[in-house]
Chains A and B, each alone.
Chain A
């Protein structure tokens, strides 16, 4: 079912604002000009021990004009939505470009993109979460929290829901006008176990990923909702097992990594490392650069031959999926790593032109009307093997290893070499079988060593689309949501740390 774009957004004087701003920018000599009007609805609610802890319900509306004037970017935004204001903001954007001209040594030219006319896009969802009464949403979370709290092992339960509806209107001098709407939902619960005497505590969180869906993710039918009943039923048992699990012995282990953990490793060690703006140094003062330098495009051995990674802005329910990006480029899918070799980057129009890469693959995104678009992450996904093994088959190939499920702590260096991750739960693998949980586990590796040790990827039946709402990048900081799909995977010989030993003196 495809929803209509919310009338409260389409009722704004979008095309009059575009005419006013673009006409003024053209008259002032801009080579390129685009106008964005955005409305972002954002609601979150959190519960602590089944009681409401906090809620937030925001709506941000505004417009932005971006110009290329005399080969230099200029950007201005404001909250006033009148044609007069749009003219003023266009003038301000040109003024910013002029102030910036003496600081600019590289002329900005944009890669060609066909004009798409006047087009619309609405993401695939069934139930607009903003039409569900707040009381109903809180009740679901409270009931689920109570389910967890009914178990002796659960000392505390936290529950949170975060919902976003994003409307974007874009128009440029070249003749593309887009009106778009996306919806996304993230619901998580976490159980806390505390041993009062020793003060030892631990947590276990649900694995349900954030998704580009509506409230049907929570209460919909079996083919659109997460299997909450099963997950909530099993969570207290997992927590109890973790609290009494032995501490891991640090060393080298074979790992079977579940998609619920690996998506984040993909995000950090592949997603960010293959952003061309990082490779070119635009993020050098903040997020960092990349070991995957541009001169290695087509030759860098990123990982083993079973490693195939794609970028896309088209996957259904993907958090980075959209019809057209914030430069009017239509959504696409492309290869990033093919049989273990780096073959592609994520691009925007200026970088595609700068590096003679042809058309942009559509990764420009701004998180709000007040921020300038920059290259942000597509859905970057590790492809499964056709007819490939199940998770159980992968586990059966390991004599001495660990099966890692769920993401938790993450950290990676500014060139995306050295990383360290933990997880929700870690199962000892002995002679091809799971043998109970372990505690205090972290895995640490260098990106190309790690992906080089990838022996096998599971079949499509193990593939899960994970993701995150909170990817940060840029100055001023911007937040984006992105999905990463992957199958279960088998890595050989990865360094495992004991986190208690790391903290010792």
Chain B
């Protein structure tokens, strides 16, 4: 731990660590982050901050009679003088460790088309200035909201993360990732009615807080009339944000190794995985693509630790467009090279975005509402948790606005519900799937901001009990 080295370049630290390596292999990942955020409640700012961070992770590999062992050590703010100690502790950890099950040869530069591209570039940075045009507009919105009896609660965050990956085999990858989002909850001044709008963004140039406030006002207006409904099964329209939370959870569960162990919804009775099985009759597609416009994300694997869903040995492996579900059929699960060998399936590493579409889709959510005789329209979901892994039964709550649709129009607000449903089961019984659009998952959007989802119509969504929350 040293005290003076924010000026040293991340690339130099990576090269120094690789040069000092004395074991069979070495992978070094330097991450430089800068963050800015604003948070507010009841039309006034509550907290804020600008943060900078840097983290260096050294992964040493040591071959032996029984296989290859790894040692992984990460430290913040490592200067050139500290690198050797870090490399030696990773090497020591590797020598003391047992062989790693996921061991594979380190990736070669020839396997990585982006290797070396932009390597010498400085890290990307953000500052509180990213909000310089939004902050005054937000101040004006607070004034208007107060005058009109609304209270706004929200959060805006922008992060620039730059990763530098180097391997002893010669791979060099730099990737700068912008990540941003704004979320606003609007409540009437007595807090009896509530709504929410959220948006993911790369740079805040596409954020219009006046428009966000207008949408909240529209939705709070829908709630002027209130109807209480009992628990039960309802025709339900889930907007893209709600679909995103359900499918992000499904995606996190779609790990080949876990399925092959026989312990997830994607396990096949008798052994193996359900890849190749039809989950829906509809022409549904769920996929990821690091190049998806507006949702661009890591083009290669960056893994600072191994787990069922990722392997440090795969660092640098290119990530391509991947269909998880195509034409209703399960096509792939998240793989390491090790689990791909185990399962006899293609190597399809996890990707940091997720999209869904249907070949049948022809209309967006507003048109789906207009085409609804009687049903519930949700705003978003909350506190989504797994109840049963066997069928991926999830529970959770509706949040910030459940609306009753009759004759193609929103006619009232309804109480909140607790639901119990499995997204895997839902895929097989969707009555309608809308056009997909960029959206922010309400609950998991703080970890997984890059999603494009359609709205869903479910004929018999299971609202298990009433929640009094408003």
Give Cα distance in the complex from A416 to B469, angstroms.
7
| Interface check B23, CB cutoff 8 A | no
Closest B residue by C-beta to A75: B49
Give Cα distance in the complex from A431 to B128, angstroms.
65
| Contact of A422 with B307 at beta-carbon distance under 8 Å, contacts A444-B418, A444-B465, A446-B468 already known | no
A 50-65 contacts with B by CB, 8 A: 51-62
Question: How does the 8 Å CB contact mask read for A486-500 relative to B, with 1 for contact and 0 for none?
Answer: 000000000101011
Closest A residue by C-beta to B44: A105
B 456-470 contacts with A by CB, 8 A: 460, 462, 464-470
Give Cα distance in the complex from A58 to B139, angstroms.
40
Whether B49 contacts A76 by the Cβ 8 Å rule is yes
B33 to chain A, nearest CB (A): 9
Complex partner residue of B76 from A79, A85, A196, A409, CB under 8 angstroms: A79
Whether A103 contacts B261 by the Cβ 8 Å rule is no
Q: Which residues does chain A contribute within 8 Å of B422, judged by CB atoms?
A: 503
| Contact of A415 with B35 at beta-carbon distance under 8 Å, contacts A61-B76, A155-B262 already known | no
Complex partner residue of A156 from B50, B263, B468, CB under 8 angstroms: B263
A 123-171 contacts with B by CB, 8 A: 133-135, 138, 142, 155-156
Which one of A18-26, A93-101, A455-463 is at the B interface? A93-101
Closest B residue by C-beta to A17: B3
Whether A80 contacts B77 by the Cβ 8 Å rule is yes
Whether A413 contacts B418 by the Cβ 8 Å rule is yes
Question: How does the 8 Å CB contact mask read for A20-61 relative to B, with 1 for contact and 0 for none?
Answer: 000000000000000000010000001010011111111111
Q: For the complex, count residues of A whose C-beta is within 8 A of B.
A: 97
Whether B45 contacts A104 by the Cβ 8 Å rule is yes
| Contact of A135 with B96 at beta-carbon distance under 8 Å, contacts A499-B388, A503-B422, A505-B460 already known | yes
* Inter-chain pairs besides A52-B97, A78-B6, A103-B40, 6 sampled, C-beta below 8 Å: A73-B48, A135-B97, A201-B262, A284-B42, A284-B185, A410-B385
| Interface check A232, CB cutoff 8 A | no
Closest 6 CB pairs of A and B: A199-B269, A415-B469, A54-B306, A502-B420, A418-B467, A284-B153
| Interface check B161, CB cutoff 8 A | no
Complex partner residue of B75 from A58, A282, A440, CB under 8 angstroms: A58
Q: Which residues does chain A contribute within 8 Å of B3, judged by CB atoms?
A: 12-13, 80-82
Whether A56 contacts B385 by the Cβ 8 Å rule is no
Q: Which residues does chain B contribute within 8 Å of A104, judged by CB atoms?
A: 44-45
Interface CB pairs A-B, < 8 A, 9: A62-B77, A77-B49, A79-B54, A92-B50, A199-B269, A281-B151, A418-B397, A440-B388, A442-B395
Whether A476 contacts B37 by the Cβ 8 Å rule is yes
B6 to chain A, nearest CB (A): 4
Q: Which residues does chain B contribute within 8 Å of A371, judged by CB atoms?
A: 49, 51
| Interface check B226, CB cutoff 8 A | no
| Interface check A288, CB cutoff 8 A | yes
| Contact of A289 with B305 at beta-carbon distance under 8 Å, contacts A52-B101, A442-B387 already known | no
| Interface check A252, CB cutoff 8 A | no
| Interface check A291, CB cutoff 8 A | yes
Q: Which residues does chain B contribute within 8 Å of A51, judged by CB atoms?
A: 98-99, 101
Give Cα distance in the complex from A415 to B469, angstroms.
5
A 252-300 contacts with B by CB, 8 A: 280-286, 288-289, 291
Whether B418 contacts A411 by the Cβ 8 Å rule is yes
Give Cα distance in the complex from A176 to B305, angstroms.
39
A314 to chain B, nearest CB (A): 27
Q: Which residues does chain B contribute within 8 Å of A288, judged by CB atoms?
A: 382, 469
| Contact of A417 with B305 at beta-carbon distance under 8 Å, contacts A142-B98, A411-B397 already known | no
Whether B6 contacts A79 by the Cβ 8 Å rule is yes
Give Cα distance in the complex from A59 to B41, angstroms.
33
Question: How does the 8 Å CB contact mask read for B296-316 relative to A, with 1 for contact and 0 for none?
Answer: 000000001111100000000
| Interface check B157, CB cutoff 8 A | yes
B 197-230 contacts with A by CB, 8 A: none
B327 to chain A, nearest CB (A): 23
Whether A134 contacts B72 by the Cβ 8 Å rule is no
Closest A residue by C-beta to B264: A201
Give Cα distance in the complex from A201 to B261, angstroms.
10
B13 to chain A, nearest CB (A): 13
Whether A96 contacts B307 by the Cβ 8 Å rule is no
| Interface check B93, CB cutoff 8 A | yes
A 343-374 contacts with B by CB, 8 A: 370-372, 374
| Interface check B135, CB cutoff 8 A | yes
| Contact of A199 with B267 at beta-carbon distance under 8 Å, contacts A135-B97, A413-B467, A417-B468 already known | yes
Complex partner residue of B97 from A55, A58, A75, A96, CB under 8 angstroms: A55
Q: Which residues does chain A contribute within 8 Å of B96, judged by CB atoms?
A: 133-135
